[in-house]
Amino acid sequence: MKYFLRRILWLVFAIFIALTINFMLPRLMPGDPATILIQRLEGLEPAAINAVRNAFGLETDKNIIIQYKDYLIDLLHGDLGISISHYPTPVWDVLRKALPWTIGLMGISTVLSFLFGTLIGITLAWKRKSRISDAVLGLFLFIRSFPYFWFGLILVYFLAFNNPIFPLGGASEVGLMPADGWEYIKSVLYHGILPGLTITITSMGYWILTIRNNMINVLAEDYITVAKAKGLSMSRIKNLYAAKNAILPSVSGFAMALGFVIGGSLLTEMVFSYPGVGFMLYQAVQQQDYPLLQAIFLFIILGVLFSNFIADIVIMILDPRVRDGAKK
């Protein structure tokens, strides 16, 4: 319980620091959101300019502490501000259109790459003296050395441009809507195959190498030797003794990967013209949409923090050594 409470306190402190940095971000950048919008909307009267500044929480008659308090209150009410590039649409209305695409694509791809990478890594460590093991490991390390967006371009060229098996880009067929039911779902899945393969295959090399190395270290432990001496089956030793302990160090890495899911895969989404958060982040930078950038950074930070918190709790449950250390 002490360990759990310490992690809770650390999470609250980290969130407070993250919110403070996120609040200061647009105020440290050259100019501010209101000034950028005012420059675009030429001919505004003084009253209209003040209204714009108030909409972005940059009132000249309020000091920084009051602005910070108002910022926290707005966040608690789900108010992320007004988007410059989509003015006067609220940032949340803009962001929620992209979040499902990114979470669906990146979330599924990240989970699949971890699962397949873990299974392959465990098998390669168990069969590490075979030529097939060395060949498979070398293949995935070679693929991992590619820039992932370049691997995506290769898939586009061979499987979409040269041989039109999959679409060149987009998230669904033009004209289809969610109301179209199964046809729309099939189109979304069909359009997500190539970007999903790009992320999954290029990410698997990391998990394969990590799990393989962890597994080899665990197989050299004394308790594995004792388990073999007791006559336990090889499958039980591999799965319950070696693999279970080899996976533990990767839980935190997997949590980090899940946390960054919200940020999307910028270059992959650009290659496939996928309407996710990564592509939106690129557009926000181009258009100097500070409120939208601020909201995306906030979601990424909170995603990483909560993912790591959950990973700490999972490790505490799975690893008795953590619980024993927490009690001391």
In this predicted structure, what is the pLDDT of residue 171? 78
Look at residue 211 and tell me whether its pLDDT is greater than 80: yes
- 288 or 136, higher pLDDT: 136
- 43 or 130, higher pLDDT: 130
Q: Mean pLDDT throughout 30-56? A: 63
- What digits encode the pLDDT tens for the residues 258-286? 777 776 577 777 778 888 888 888 888 77
**Burial letters 210-231, b for 16+ CB under 10 A, else e:** bbbebbbebbeeeebeebeeee
Q: Mean pLDDT throughout 153-160? A: 86
In this predicted structure, what is the pLDDT of residue 130? 81
Q: The pTM is what?
A: 0.76
Fold of 95-327: MetI-like fold (1.10.3720)
CA-derived radius of gyration, the chain: 24
- Extents of the domains making up the chain: 2-76, 95-327
**Cα(299)–Cα(74) distance, rounded to whole angstroms?**
15
In this predicted structure, what is the pLDDT of residue 78? 79
| Position 191 confidence tier, pLDDT thresholds 50, 70, 90 | confident
CA angle 293, 298, 303 (to 5 degrees): 130
